[in-house]
Chains A and B, each alone.
Chain A
Amino acid sequence: MAYSEKVLDHYENPRNVGSMDKSDPHVGTGMVGAPACGDVMKLQIKVGDDGIIQDAKFKTYGCGSAIASSSLVTEWIKGKTLDQVMEIKNSDIAEELALPPVKIHCSVLAEDAIRAAVADLKAKQSSAKVAA
């Protein structure tokens, strides 16, 4: 499999690998997986009181394209609002990384991870409101 230079760059120097505290009320955690290839991806976002994403971390077990897709996404979402990151499409990721058709599902997984992380955070925030 010939990877693009951008994929190789993210694969060899992945950005923002790591974990944040799942129980932190400012942290949203998105877990997604693809049965077809057995890839698993965890994306975490930390949002300030101003609603801006301050930090993002990921951990992905999968092929180079899955790692690159999630690494790229952590760079893209920092400094954005939740609404802004919900607009990121898998096709944007695939285009940026020049993913071949057989690897499009990796970018879909990364998009799903963003949605899952945002959904997790929103669920946390609304239950916090109920509690308050």
Chain B
Amino acid sequence: MNTLSDTNYFELFGLAPRFTIDMHSLEQSFRQLQSELHPDRHAGNSEAEQRVALQKSTQVNDAYRTLRNPVTRARCLIDLAGVLGLEAKTLTPGFLMAQMEWRESIEDARHAGDVVALDALSKRLKHKVSIQEKDLASALDDEANFQLAEQRLNELFFYQKLRSEIDDALDQLDK
């Protein structure tokens, strides 16, 4: 089965390959495409044509999922740029130290059963992530600096981990 390349993920929905995309038009194109590819519309066609429509529908789902999520969208753009030799060695000691402090704060709050503290951390994290995504957008869309984008993306992974740690702690205290 031939799969769509990353470029076509954007082309598929009529979008320019950029980090900053219009979520509303992504959503609309997605619905439009899926309704065109719906099996009911191809019921009268040959078996081969029906199979192609089904394959395409799967690809549209993959593409939509990839572009909707900022992390996989950024990954897709960096891969598209085809810059090799980008490795995760770019994390700075300062960033890692801050991660250590985040994890300590989350752990302390979890042990203390301090929901208020966890909510405050959650808020702070939300703010951090939004700044991080803006930085990632400017590295990709404005500067086309893929080395920097890779670093920002790697950092974003750590923030995702913090998000799940905070959510787990809150879930645990909820019970």
Contact = CB atoms under 8 A, between A and B. Distances in A.
Interface size class of B (residues with CB under 8 A): 10 to 19
Nearest to B99: A40
A35 B100 contact: no
Contacts of A38: 157-158, 160-162
A29 B158 CA distance: 20
Interface string B151-162: 001110110111
Given A40-B103, A61-B103, A35 B96 contact: no
Nearest to B95: A33
Contact residues of A: prevailing secondary structure: strand
Interface string A102-131: 000000000000000000000000000000
A31 B158 contact: no
Interface in B44-100: 88, 91, 93, 95-97, 99-100
Interface residues of A, number: 13
A33 B156 CA distance: 13
B97 A35 contact: no
A36 B96 contact: no
Contacts of B99: 33, 40, 61
A37 B155 CA distance: 11
Contacts of A59: 100
13 contacts: A31-B93, A31-B100, A32-B91, A33-B95, A33-B99, A33-B158, A35-B153, A35-B154, A38-B161, A42-B100, A61-B99, A61-B100, A61-B103
Interface of B: 88, 91, 93, 95-97, 99-100, 103, 107, 153-155, 157-158, 160-162
Interface of A: 29, 31-38, 40, 42, 59, 61
The 4 tightest CB contacts between A and B, nearest first, are: A38-B161, A31-B96, A35-B157, A61-B103
